[in-house]
Amino acid sequence: MAETATIDVAIIGAGIIGLSTAFKLQEAGRTAVLIDRRGIAEETSRGNAGAFAFSDVIPMATSGVLGKLPKWLSDPLGPLTIRPEYLPQITPWLLRFWRAGWPDRVAASLKAQSAMMRIARSEAEALIATAGLEPLIRRDGVLELYESEAELRNTARDDAAKAAEGIEFRHVRGAELAELQPSLSPKITAATFIPKWQTVQDPYDYAVAIGRAAMDRGASFRQAEIVQLRPQDDSVILELGDGSALRARQVVVAAGAWSHRLTRPIGDDIPLETERGYNTTLPGYSFDLRRQLVFGGHGFVVTPLASGIRIGGAVELGGLSLPPNFKRADAMLQKAARYMPGLVTTGGTQWMGFRPSLPDSLPAIGFSRRSRNIVYAFGHGHLGLTQSAGTGKLVANLLTGAAQPIDITPFSPQRF
Ligand SMILES: Cc1cc2nc3c(=O)[nH]c(=O)nc-3n(C[C@H](O)[C@H](O)[C@H](O)COP(=O)(O)OP(=O)(O)OC[C@H]3O[C@@H](n4cnc5c(N)ncnc54)[C@H](O)[C@@H]3O)c2cc1C
């Protein structure tokens, strides 16, 4: 290898996790080089639904979700699909997902996720204030919508989790609901309003702004693909796709849904899968949208963005290589039009992203098995934007040897 200067900390992946980690590392006095094969926030962090979902502490694999699986799976364009050709590959992950839904695991996961969310919230507030990102944040709450009182009653567990976290919310109906969001179909009879729920004006702009703030503080960016990591005694060699190599004192793997491709050859076979999600971003005039709307029973959300109205969500288990099926984005748009009469469904841009998902809905944050110079930070599933600043802080603490504010053993990459 031709010797170049040793990088202090190389962060592989310039999605929201890598970018936030770079920011927190710069704050801790370290120098980060972000490396991404595509650019800054060009993958999953670019087109998500933009919510800081600090109250979403319940793992995906609960009895509620598992009970709905047969109905959902019977609809090929419904909230959850498994691409048939991918079923053999995803089966081991599904078995772990099912096991994660047992009461003992759910209780442990809930405790860990709640601790993570507290850090995520305080670190996000600190990052937004320090980096001057307040203009990119909306603080106008969210409405979780229901079609019957029975559906509302089914949220008792979510309500209890919110109350335990001190998250303010109330159930609204009739005139109050109509005032919070006019022009909904009468099929929507009730909602949970969370007034302090926050969203970003645009997830791409927010991610890019964090990258800029990190670079203002001394971080840098390099476009390259990392094909392999070679841990040494006191550093790590990063092999690039063009045949060259870099050396870094420490490395963070924040490569989203692709991270396991780098961890497996160095001894960490982590059950990372992707939950693919779809959406359509319509022009802003398409509907008089007052705040984010969640259609939980149908697996999609509607987000007001600076650049328009984004409608989408859903989960497709189909791995990293199969082509997108944008009929899923169309189906959510048509469904939204049924509940939002007058929605103009033309003129939109479709998108698919790869949520990096572990079966227990917790991220992997911790040292690699082979080297304490390599830290993993991936697997945030539906919550990467929400947990980005908190993850950045925990990773910075690992790399600098600072004390952790929470117990991070539940996030151990070796827990499986
Ligand atoms: C439809 C949808 C809606 C969502 N809504 C929300 C939401 O409202 N709130 C929320 O908190 N989360 C949401 N999420 C989840 C969130 O978007 C993800 O958890 C988050 O973006 C993951 O960030 P990341 O940095 O880990 O991954 P990514 O953004 O995918 O970044 C990983 C980066 O690593 C790079 N990379 C990979 N391999 C290599 C390599 N070998 N060499 C160099 N570079 C590499 C990739 O190019 C990529 O840029 C949503 C996701 C989807 C799909």
Residue 263: which pLDDT band, with cuts at 50, 70 and 90? Answer: very high
Average pLDDT (365-394) is 98
Ligand 1, closest atom to CA 225?
42
CA of 115 to the centre of ligand 1 (A): 22
Residue 3: which pLDDT band, with cuts at 50, 70 and 90? Answer: low
CA of 276 to the centre of ligand 1 (A): 11
Q: Does any ligand 1 atom lie closer than 6 A to the CB of residue 315? A: no
Mutating to test ligand 1, I would choose from 355, 362, 395 the residue with most ligand atoms within 8 A of its C-beta, which is 355
Residues in the chain: 416
CA of 12 to the centre of ligand 1 (A): 12
Residue 343: which pLDDT band, with cuts at 50, 70 and 90? Answer: very high
Q: Of 60-69, 322-331, 333-342, where does mean pLDDT reach its minimum?
A: 60-69
Average pLDDT (336-353) is 97
Mutating to test ligand 1, I would choose from 380, 388, 391 the residue with most ligand atoms within 8 A of its C-beta, which is 380
Average pLDDT (173-202) is 97
Average pLDDT (381-404) is 98
Q: What is the pLDDT of residue 226?
A: 98
Find out whether 360 and 61 touch, Cβ atoms under 8 Å.
Answer: yes
Q: Does any ligand 1 atom lie closer than 6 A to the CB of residue 255? A: yes
Q: Cβ contacts of residue 325 below 8 Å, gap of 6+?
A: 83, 316, 318
CA of 35 to the centre of ligand 1 (A): 14
Q: Is 204 exposed, middle or buried (0-12, 13-18, 19+ CB in 10 A)?
A: buried
Round to whole Å and give the CA distance between 152 and 176: 16
Average pLDDT (290-301) is 95
311 has pLDDT over 60? yes
> Which residue has its alpha carbon closest to ligand 1 atom 14?
382
> Which residue has its alpha carbon closest to ligand 1 atom 37?
255
Q: Does any ligand 1 atom lie closer than 6 A to the CB of residue 211? A: no
Ligand 1, closest atom to CA 386?
11
Average pLDDT (225-254) is 97
> Which residue has its alpha carbon closest to ligand 1 atom 25?
15
Q: pLDDT: is 66 or 248 the higher one?
A: 248
Structure tokens at 75: 């609809």
> Which residue has its alpha carbon closest to ligand 1 atom 3?
48
- The helix/strand count (H/E) of the chain reads as 11, 20
What does the H/E/C string look like for 67-101? HHHHHHHHCCCCCEEECHHHHHHHHHHHHHHHHHC
Structure tokens at 347: 């003129």
Residue-wise pLDDT for 124-137, tens only, equals 999 999 999 999 99
Q: Does any ligand 1 atom lie closer than 6 A to the CB of residue 13? A: yes
Structure tokens at 384: 């990467």
Residue-wise pLDDT for 40-98, tens only, equals 999 999 999 999 999 888 888 875 677 777 777 778 788 899 999 999 999 999 999 99
Average pLDDT (375-386) is 98
305 has pLDDT over 60? yes
Average pLDDT (381-409) is 98
Q: What is the pLDDT of residue 323?
A: 97
Q: What is the pLDDT of residue 1?
A: 52
Q: Of 13-22, 25-34, 107-116, 182-191, where does mean pLDDT reach its minimum?
A: 107-116
337 has pLDDT over 90? yes
300 has pLDDT over 70? yes
CA of 88 to the centre of ligand 1 (A): 24
- Whole-number mean pLDDT of the chain? 95
Q: Does any ligand 1 atom lie closer than 6 A to the CB of residue 288? A: no
Q: pLDDT: is 160 or 237 the higher one?
A: 237
Q: What is the pLDDT of residue 364?
A: 98
Q: What is the pLDDT of residue 2?
A: 54
346 has pLDDT over 70? yes
Average pLDDT (240-245) is 96
Q: Of 94-103, 241-250, 306-315, where does mean pLDDT reach its minimum?
A: 94-103
Q: Does any ligand 1 atom lie closer than 6 A to the CB of residue 16? A: yes
Q: Does any ligand 1 atom lie closer than 6 A to the CB of residue 162? A: no
Ligand 1, closest atom to CA 41?
49
The DSSP output letter for 58 is S
CA of 176 to the centre of ligand 1 (A): 36
pTM of the full predicted structure? Answer: 0.97
Average pLDDT (169-194) is 97
Structure tokens at 41: 């926030």
Q: What is the pLDDT of residue 165?
A: 77
